Every structure is written in structure tokens, then in C-alpha cells.
């Protein structure tokens, strides 16, 4: 890696020597620790340290969580469209377009029929006139996608969002018509983001796919985490971006080429980004007058085609929160599946799927009697007088917090029902199996019972003591629907669902994790977008553990657990 030295960059050499950060006692490359001193704001920021920045973006390091993040510096506006939630998708699309322009274009073309529907709706929003898909206006709008790389990146990002979360309905004209998109500021934002990300990865040992950001040396050396990672989707100083560069607008191409050569940039933009400092009143006015017209994806999904394959070939496939409403299991996987709850909202069954399954809160709802006559079935009689059961029958969505702790006998009824529907699946209701040398312990934690945290953690402690059976050697993964506690959760502290009180308050649980060969935890429940990542490495019980949360979508039919398990732990 080249050495650079300019006013907003720092000196970086090829060799990295670990040094412990005083704030975290974590091992960091000494050159990166030194970077903290180059930015005056770090003196008053004990947690989020700036490591690299330009006019609009910065790389920060969280000294508490040991995580890197790329943030805007506050003045640049991502989008003038109110409630535009695609920023992370578009940033991810920008990296993939740079690395794989041919493949990303094919992905867009694969969605042509869906794009025609979006364009037709966009034209209607602008003109109040309906057109058919063969209209010259629709054809021209579709072709315009491929005439501007920055717009094409946005369309790619929108399609990634579409495939993950369902059809897009709000302000689609500004998202799918180039003529309307010109005034949103998104192209200028993407322009600046690409400039920053290339300069960053050419200046520091950083790797990113537009979602995750990591220190390259850590990524390369920690074999248990990186050995099977698809590095082709991550941008580094070694990445060949010439195919993507060739498609960029001339001014951006020149700027990126300068970043590749680690030269100081002094480029005048064709269009400046929208800045809050200059346009705050205008943006506020637009958003004050905004009339929401979103439609829930379940109402519009039937009008769009699923163009992605439903077959999944992962060897150890992790997925949760399918919430199937049509009685069908939506994908095919002939290997081993780890279903982390909330699979069915319509009594789904599948005779072929193999693996393990833990009970989620929607499994509890899915086996409830359909009417009062069925509620007197023998299997439900023991619970009929229970306050929580009466409330749950009457109003399930208002009663999640009343669900019993996971050792309750009601869950045996749920387990029996699921085993009838999935005959080749092991329903792990506080049980364990060993598959190919890995032990999977499934704990029944349908929801995070914050107010009953102590009782729930007592149950977790007792279950682990029983199921581990003094076997300190076998690599073990804990699977539950809701996360065990905050320390082993993918939920961001910035999420509205995050509750700081849901922490591990039982020291004996931490000791179990320290003493036994527990290598990771899997959960679902929180519907964390794929753009936020499917896995992470955390520090708990004085060691590193992986945490996985893989939510089902039409694009994501599961996470390959083999990517983060040390292959030496697998026994075939």
C-alpha cells in the first residue's frame, strides 16, 4: 500500500503492528491508533473517533463496540424525498456497480417487467394519466436508466430494496423517472460517496461492501471469520474497478482515478450536493407539505413478479421470520437449515426441509385454536383458565409480553404441532443435537421479556447447564428466536426496539460462555434489514463470538453459516 500525506489524510505504511487502544484494550494496528491524534474533535469524543474524512463523509471508530462506520458529516443531504429509506441499499449498489458493472446491469434487466410497472405508476403520479407498458414514454424512461451511471446505481439500490422488503410505493416518480430524479440530490450524494469510498480504501487498510466496514488486516488474519467470506463483493486497495470506472461520467471518472493514485483532489463538481446549510428551509417546506401515499407491500406484492430463484444451496442455511401467509414454505434447500422462528402465519407444512427449528412468538400464534370449540381440545385444556392464555386468545398482538417463560409446558403443544408439519426437522424446544461436529442448542425465547429478565435468564442458565452436559470440547451454537440478551444480538443500539435493560445480568451465564466451547449465537425476531449486515463478531465472556440474524426475503432465502465457522470444526 502506498504512503500518503496530505492535509485531510494520514501516513499509512504497509506493515501493521497491533497496539491496544487505551479506550478499549482491543488490539488495533498502531498506525490506526495514531490516526486519532490527527483530528482535533477526537479529544472531546471518547467513543466515536474520526479516522478519515473529507468534505462530506468520515470513517469513525466506536471505542466501546470496536466497530467501524462510514457516516456523512451532517451537511450533505442524501435525498430531498421525504422518508426515503434506500440510502444503505444505494451505497451498497454503488460499490457493487464499481466492482461488477456487467453483473449489476444484468440484475437490473432481469427486473424489466417490474421496472415497467414502477415507471407506469411514476408517470401517473406526475401526469395523472395512465399509460401502458408499450407506451413510448415507458420505453424512453426504461432506456434512460442505462444512460446515466449514477441513476443506474440508484435503480439497482431500489431493486435490492424491493427484493428484500417488498414493493416500493411512496414518491416513486422521483425514484424511477430520471426527469424527476434530477432534483432529489441523490446522484450528487452518490457521486460524493463514491469519491470518498475509493479514496478511503486506497488510503487505509479498510474493506467495505457498502454495508459492512472492517479493518483489512483483521479481515484477512481472523481465519475463523474470514476464510470463506466472498471477498469479491468487498472494495479494497487491491480491487480492480477499471470496468466500473469506464462507465462513469467523465468528471467522476477523473476524480476516482486521482483517488486511485492517492493524489490530492481539487475537482469542481458539475452539481453541488444538496446541503442542509444552504437549503434547510426549502427541504423543510417540502417535507412539511408532503402527503404520504405509501401502500403496504402485502397489498401491492401481487402486482410484481419474483424474478429470483427460490432454490438455496447453502450448506448450513440460517433463516428466520418468513411469516408465510399462503400456507407454503417459500424456498427450497436440500441441505441443513436453521430456522430461527416465525416461519409461519398460515399453518405452513413441508415434508422435505431438514435441519433444526426453534419456536418464535408467531409459532405460538399459529397453533392457537381457530374458534372457541377447538380451544376445548384436550391439548389446550390445561391452559384455559390461565390469564395469559385468555388474553392471548382474545388479542394476540396486545399480549406478546404475557407469554410464559420458555420452560412452560404450553410450548410442548407448539413443538408437537410443528413436528407434525415438518417431519424431517428437529424442533429444538430446550434441546440439542450434534450435526457434523457442531452442537446446536435451541432455547425457547419467543420474545424479549425485559420486565421478567431475571426469571428468563435463570431459565437460560438452568437450560444451558443441563444441555451442555459437562462437554467442554464440542463447538456449540445457541439458537433462539428473540436474542438471548443485548450482548448477543444483531439489533442496533440506534433501533427503536433496542432496550438497554435487556442485558446479561447473570454472571453465571457469562461464565458458561467462557468455560465451554460456545462459538456463536443465532436469533431472529427483529427484522433487521440485510443492508445492516447478517452477522457480526462480538466480544463476550473474554472471547470472540459470532452473532447471526438472517431474515427471510425474496432476495435473501438464508445466510451461509459456513462463511463464519472455522472449517476445522466441521466433521463430515
Q: Is the pTM value of this prediction over 0.85?
A: no
Q: Which fold has domain 308-563?
A: Purple Acid Phosphatase; chain A, domain 2 (3.60.21)
Residue 393: the pLDDT is: 86
The pLDDT of 79-89, averaged and rounded, is 89
**N- to C-terminal Cα distance for the chain?**
40
> Does pLDDT of 149 surpass 70?
yes
Tens-place pLDDT, residues 174-213: 999 999 998 889 999 999 999 999 989 888 888 888 877 8
Q: How confident is the model at residue 260 (pLDDT cuts 50, 70, 90)?
A: low
Tens-place pLDDT, residues 92-104: 999 999 999 999 9
Asked if 565 contacts 528 with a C-beta cutoff of 8 angstroms, the reply is no
The pLDDT of 224-252, averaged and rounded, is 69
> Does pLDDT of 227 surpass 50?
no
Task: Give percent of the chain above pLDDT 90.
Answer: 51
Pairing of strands 67-72, 206-208: unpaired
Sheet holding 431-435, edge to edge: 431-435, 438-442, 476-479, 518-522, 543-548, 535-540
The pLDDT of 409-425, averaged and rounded, is 95
Q: How far apart are CA 121 and CA 135, in angstroms?
A: 13
> Does pLDDT of 520 surpass 50?
yes
Name the least confident of 54-63, 74-83, 224-233, 560-569.
224-233
Residue 57: the pLDDT is: 94
- Where helices occur in 222-368 by DSSP H, the ranges are 223-226, 242-245, 250-260, 276-288, 297-300, 361-366
Which of the 8 DSSP states describes residue 29? Answer: E
The pLDDT of 71-75, averaged and rounded, is 87
> Does pLDDT of 414 surpass 50?
yes
> Does pLDDT of 144 surpass 90?
yes
Name the least confident of 21-35, 184-198, 496-510.
21-35
> Does pLDDT of 16 surpass 60?
no
Q: Which range, 30-34, 251-255, 428-432, is most confident? A: 428-432
> Does pLDDT of 12 surpass 60?
no
Q: What is the dihedral of CA 309, 313, 318, 323, to 10 degrees?
A: 30
Q: Which range, 21-35, 40-54, 246-260, 318-332, is most confident? A: 318-332
Residue 29: the pLDDT is: 65
> Does pLDDT of 374 surpass 90?
no
Phi, then psi, of 412 in degrees rounded to 5: -65, -35
Residue 139: the pLDDT is: 96
Q: How far apart are CA 456 and CA 408, in angstroms?
A: 11
Name the least confident of 9-23, 367-381, 400-414, 447-461.
9-23
Q: How confident is the model at residue 28 (pLDDT cuts 50, 70, 90)?
A: low
Q: H or E element: which one contains 539?
A: strand 535-540
> Does pLDDT of 353 surpass 80?
yes
Q: What does the domain layout of the chain look like in residue ranges?
A: 1-75+212-239, 80-203+242-305, 308-563
Q: Which residues contact 73 (CB under 8 A, 6 or more apart)?
A: 53, 55, 56, 57, 58
Task: Give percent of the chain above pLDDT 70.
Answer: 85
The pLDDT of 375-404, averaged and rounded, is 84
> Does pLDDT of 160 surpass 60?
yes
Residue 506: the pLDDT is: 95
Q: How far apart are CA 434 and CA 426, in angstroms?
A: 11
Residue 64: the pLDDT is: 78
> Does pLDDT of 137 surpass 90?
yes
Q: What is the 3-state secondary structure (H, E, C) of 314-349?
A: CCEEEEECCCECCCCCCCECCCEEEECCCCECCCCC
> Does pLDDT of 266 surpass 70?
no
> Does pLDDT of 390 surpass 60?
yes
The pLDDT of 398-425, averaged and rounded, is 94
Q: How confident is the model at residue 230 (pLDDT cuts 50, 70, 90)?
A: low
The Cβ of residue 309 has, within 10 Å, a number of other Cβ atoms equal to 11
> Does pLDDT of 91 surpass 50?
yes
> Does pLDDT of 262 surpass 70?
no
Residue 378: the pLDDT is: 73
Mean pLDDT estimate for the chain: 84
Residue 379: the pLDDT is: 82
Amino acid at each position: 500500500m502506498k504512503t500518503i500525506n496530505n492535509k485531510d489524510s494520514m501516513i499509512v505504511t504497509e506493515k501493521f503492528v497491533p497496539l491496544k487502544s487505551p479506550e478499549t484494550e482491543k488490539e488495533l494496528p498502531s498506525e490506526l491508533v495514531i490516526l486519532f491524534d490527527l483530528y482535533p474533535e477526537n479529544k472531546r469524543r471518547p467513543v466515536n473517533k474520526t479516522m478519515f474524512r473529507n468534505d462530506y463523509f468520515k470513517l469513525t471508530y466506536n471505542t466501546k463496540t470496536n466497530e467501524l462506520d462510514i457516516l456523512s458529516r451532517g451537511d450533505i443531504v442524501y435525498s430531498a424525498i421525504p422518508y426515503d429509506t434506500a440510502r444503505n441499499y444505494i451505497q451498497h449498489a454503488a460499490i457493487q456497480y464499481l466492482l461488477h458493472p456487467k453483473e449489476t446491469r444484468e440484475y437490473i434487466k432481469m427486473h424489466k417487467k417490474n421496472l415497467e410497472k414502477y415507471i407506469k405508476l411514476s408517470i401517473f403520479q406526475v401526469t395523472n394519466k395512465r399509460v401502458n407498458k408499450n407506451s413510448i414514454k415507458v420505453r424512453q424512461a426504461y432506456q434512460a436508466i442505462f444512460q446515466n451511471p449514477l441513476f443506474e446505481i440508484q435503480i439497482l439500490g431500489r431493486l435490492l430494496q424491493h427484493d428484500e422488503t417488498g414493493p416500493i410505493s411512496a414518491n416513486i416518480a422521483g425514484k424511477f423517472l430520471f426527469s424527476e430524479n434530477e432534483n432529489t440530490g441523490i446522484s450528487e450524494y452518490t457521486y460524493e460517496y463514491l469519491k470518498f469510498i475509493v479514496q478511503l480504501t486506497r488510503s487505509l487498510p479498510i474493506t467495505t461492501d457498502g454495508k459492512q466496514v472492517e479493518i483489512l488486516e483483521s479481515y484477512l488474519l481472523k481465519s475463523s471469520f474470514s476464510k470463506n467470506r466472498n471477498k469479491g463483493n468487498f472494495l479494497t486497495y487491491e480491487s480492480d474497478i477499471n470496468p466500473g470506472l469506464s462507465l462513469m461520467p467523465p468528471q467522476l471518472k477523473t476524480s476516482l482515478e486521482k483517488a486511485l493514485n492517492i493524489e490530492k483532489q481539487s475537482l469542481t463538481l458539475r452539481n453541488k450536493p444538496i446541503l442542509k446549510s444552504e437549503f434547510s428551509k426549502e427541504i423543510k417546506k417540502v417535507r412539511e407539505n408532503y402527503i404520504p401515499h405509501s401502500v403496504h407491500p402485502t397489498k401491492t406484492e401481487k402486482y410484481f413478479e419474483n424474478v429470483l430463484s427460490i432454490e438455496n444451496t447453502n450448506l448450513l442455511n440460517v433463516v428466520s421470520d418468513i411469516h408465510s401467509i399462503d400456507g407454503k414454505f417459500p424456498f427450497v434447500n436440500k441441505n441443513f437449515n436453521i430456522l430461527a422462528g416465525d416461519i409461519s402465519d398460515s399453518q405452513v407444512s413441508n415434508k422435505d426441509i431438514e435441519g433444526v427449528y426453534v419456536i418464535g412468538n408467531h409459532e405460538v400464534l399459529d397453533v392457537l385454536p381457530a374458534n372457541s370449540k377447538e380451544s376445548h381440545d384436550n391439548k389446550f385444556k390445561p391452559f384455559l383458565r390461565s390469564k395469559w392464555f385468555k388474553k392471548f386468545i382474545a388479542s394476540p398482538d396486545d399480549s406478546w409480553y404475557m407469554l410464559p417463560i420458555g420452560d412452560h409446558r404450553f410450548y410442548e403443544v407448539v413443538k408437537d404441532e410443528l413436528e407434525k408439519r415438518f417431519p424431517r426437522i428437529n424442533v429444538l424446544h430446550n434441546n440439542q443435537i450434534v450435526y457434523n461436529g457442531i452442537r446446536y442448542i435451541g432455547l425457547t425465547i419467543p420474545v424479549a421479556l425485559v420486565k421478567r429478565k431475571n426469571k428468563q435468564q435463570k431459565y437460560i442458565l438452568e437450560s444451558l447447564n443441563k444441555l451442555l452436559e459437562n462437554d467442554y470440547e464440542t463447538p456449540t451454537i445457541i439458537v433462539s428466536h428473540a436474542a438471548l440478551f443485548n450482548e448477543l444480538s444483531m439489533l442496533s443500539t440506534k433501533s427503536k426496539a433496542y432496550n438497554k435493560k435487556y442485558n446479561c445480568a447473570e454472571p453465571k451465564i457469562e461464565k458458561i460462555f467462557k468455560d465451554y466451547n460456545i462459538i456463536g449465537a443465532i436469533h431472529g425476531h427483529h427484522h433487521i434489514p440485510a443492508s445492516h449486515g447478517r452477522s457480526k463478531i462480538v466480544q463476550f465472556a473474554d472471547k470472540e463470538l459470532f452473532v447471526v440474524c438472517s431474515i427471510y426475503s425474496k432476495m435473501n432465502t438464508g445466510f451461509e453459516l459456513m462463511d463464519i465457522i472455522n472449517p476445522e470444526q466441521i466433521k463430515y
